[in-house]
């Protein structure tokens, strides 16, 4: 199980003085110890991470790097590959393939000396600090839950269980390809209907980006086809002005946006949806289900905000119910956009705090980080929303600093920067 760890400290996050220190202490670091000592407990303990998405994998890398290898990190992840949700809407638009968004885990795993278990966590024994896998158990000193979101399909009237030919494609992978194939086989003149749920969901601008991508494909290949957005919310949830520029500009007559359009009844056989205002029949139907914290957080009983999301302390990302269980990424209740950039920033703050706590130091009481979310409106042009967030101890929340904002309009130049964002965040997470 023990992986061959390489000391990466010198290349990862350090000032010159730190660098010198890491060379001096490099010899002292856990994995540099002679074999007799290596068999013993790692000096700063053992962290088990559930989920190798943007949040979990980033936490693993930085825990190892910033502790100079003095923490043992075990990741539990059932999937063999990392598939990026960011840019998966562009697969629907036709300007990316899923292959371009698929990555292996081996490089990070080897390079940062991560112990890896290809399995699913099915239960958490909080009292005994153990997680149950389908095969065996693991003990931890601290646990990080980073399971992303779960989908509450039973909340959709008429659906109750997932339906094979109505993909949500809200986790990139097979369903993304299935939805693309449905669009390809749909006749010109057909209708693509997408529903957006109320309440927090992952990637607030994501559905509107998807609408633009499908409309972009229709304009090129099925010019008589339409996109109908049935949004259960009162209004566009993110980058409203910018998306309206596209809906009323390039996609005028292609995209119809209907607000306050909660699903009252869905007939899955005929793909017909009834709302307060109308009955809409789809040729291709994409129901984005209501979301909540990943199943493992529910099983652990840590989804204490509306039974959906997990409340955490933003200094350490410890659960408000369980001090030695940290939760990061889409599963937490933060009042912040559930984005990949956010997930990686939370992971870094959490990693630094865990190292401090395990070393007997106080964590940084005032975390600050930058966040940006780009959306593509076609194959070339993108736009951003960007803010710095800082911890406000009085509000006990991450609050956006003055000076943030959105692009004036989508542009090709920002399309190039959005691509650079994707490659750099993939590199930060996966190398």
Partner 1 sequence: MKQRYVNIVWACVVAWSLSAQAEDSSAIHTLAASCAACHGPNGNSLGGTPTLAALNEDYFVQRMQGFKDGSVSSTVMHHHAKGLTSAEIMALASYFAQQPRQTPQALPRQSFKGAQ
Reported in sequence order, the residue ranges of 166-259 that DSSP labels E, i.e. its strands, are 191-196, 226-231, 255-258
Size of the site for ligand FAD (CB under 6 A): 36
Interface with ligand HEC (CB under 6 A), residue from 37, 107, 370, 401? 370
88 scored as a contact of ligand FAD (CB under 6 A)? yes
Measured CA distances, 219 to 23, 98, 279, 346, 382 (Å): 58, 22, 25, 39, 18
Residue 237 Cβ, how far from partner 1 at the closest point, in Å?
19
Decide if residue 338 touches ligand FAD (CB under 6 A).
Answer: yes
Count Cβ atoms within 10 A of the Cβ of residue 273 and give its class: 0-12 exposed, 13-18 middle, 19 or more buried. buried
202 binds ligand FAD (CB under 6 A): yes
Site for ligand HEC in 221-240 (CB under 6 A): none
Cα–Cα distance, 86 to 105 (Å, whole number): 17
The reply on whether position 93 binds ligand FAD by CB under 6 A is no
Q: Which of residues 386-415 bind ligand HEC (CB under 6 A)?
A: 386
- Binding span for ligand FAD by CB under 6 A among 12-20, 75-83, 219-227, 248-256: 75-83
First CA to last CA distance, the chain = 21
Contact by Cβ (8 Å): 251, 217: no
The mark string for 340-379 relative to partner 1 (x by CB under 8 A, - otherwise) is -x--xx--xx--x--xx--xxx--x-xxxxxxx-------
- Pick from 19, 25, 103, 417 the residue near ligand HEC by CB under 6 A: 417
Out of 204, 294, 363, 415, the only residue in the binding site for ligand FAD (CB under 6 A) is: 294
When CB distances are held under 5 to 8 angstroms depending on the partner's kind, the choice from partner 1, ligand HEC, ligand FAD, none that residue 367 binds is partner 1
Query: And the tokens for 152?
Result: 């509450």
Taking CB under 6 A as the criterion, the residue among 216, 222, 239, 341 binding ligand FAD is 341
Q: Which of 110, 86, 64, 22 is nearest to 354 (CA)?
A: 64
CB atoms near residue 80 (< 10 Å):
8
CA distance 182 to 367: 45
* Binding site residues, ligand HEC, CB under 6 A: 370, 372, 386, 417, 421
């Amino acid at each position: 199980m023990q992986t061959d760890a390489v000391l990466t400290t010198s290349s990862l996050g350090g000032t010159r003085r730190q660098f010198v220190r890491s060379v001096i202490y490099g010899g002292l670091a856990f994995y540099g110890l002679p074999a007799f000592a290596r068999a013993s407990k790692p000096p700063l303990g053992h962290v088990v991470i559930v989920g190798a998405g943007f949040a979990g994998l980033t936490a693993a890398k930085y825990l190892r790097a910033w502790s100079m290898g003095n923490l043992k990190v075990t990741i539990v992840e059932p999937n063999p590959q990392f598939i990026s949700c960011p840019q998966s809407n562009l697969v629907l638009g036709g300007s990316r393939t899923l292959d371009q968004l698929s990555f292996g885990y081996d490089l990070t795993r080897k390079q940062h000396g991560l112990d890896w278990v290809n399995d699913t966590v099915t239960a958490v024994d909080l009292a005994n600090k153990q997680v149950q896998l389908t095969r065996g158990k693991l003990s931890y000193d601290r646990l990080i839950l980073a399971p992303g979101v779960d989908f509450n399909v039973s909340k959709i009237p008429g659906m109750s269980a997932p339906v094979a030919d109505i993909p949500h494609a809200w986790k990139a992978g097979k369903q993304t390809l299935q939805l693309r194939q449905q669009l390809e086989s749909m006749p010109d003149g057909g209708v693509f209907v997408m529903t957006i749920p109320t309440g927090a969901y992952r990637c607030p601008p994501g559905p509107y980006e998807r609408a633009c991508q499908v409309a972009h494909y229709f304009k090129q290949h099925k010019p008589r086809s339409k996109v109908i957005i049935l949004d259960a919310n009162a209004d566009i949830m993110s980058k409203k002005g910018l998306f309206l520029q596209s809906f009323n500009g390039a996609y005028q007559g292609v995209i119809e946006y209907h607000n306050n359009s909660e699903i009252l009844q869905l007939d899955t056989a005929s793909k017909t949806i009834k709302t307060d205002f109308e009955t809409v029949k789809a040729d291709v139907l994409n129901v984005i289900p209501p979301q909540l914290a990943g199943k493992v957080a529910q099983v652990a009983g840590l989804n204490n905000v509306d039974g959906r999301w997990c409340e955490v302390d933003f200094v350490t990302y410890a659960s408000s119910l369980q001090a030695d269980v940290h939760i990061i990424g889409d599963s937490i209740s933060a009042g912040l956009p559930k984005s990949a950039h956010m997930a990686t920033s939370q992971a870094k703050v959490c990693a630094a705090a865990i190292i401090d706590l395990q070393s007997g130091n106080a964590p940084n009481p005032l975390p600050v980080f930058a966040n940006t979310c780009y959306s593509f409106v076609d194959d070339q042009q993108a736009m951003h929303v960007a803010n710095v967030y800082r911890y406000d101890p009085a509000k006990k929340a991450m609050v956006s600093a003055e000076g943030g904002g959105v692009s004036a309009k989508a542009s090709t130049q920002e399309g190039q920067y959005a691509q650079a964002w994707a490659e750099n965040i993939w590199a930060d997470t996966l190398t």
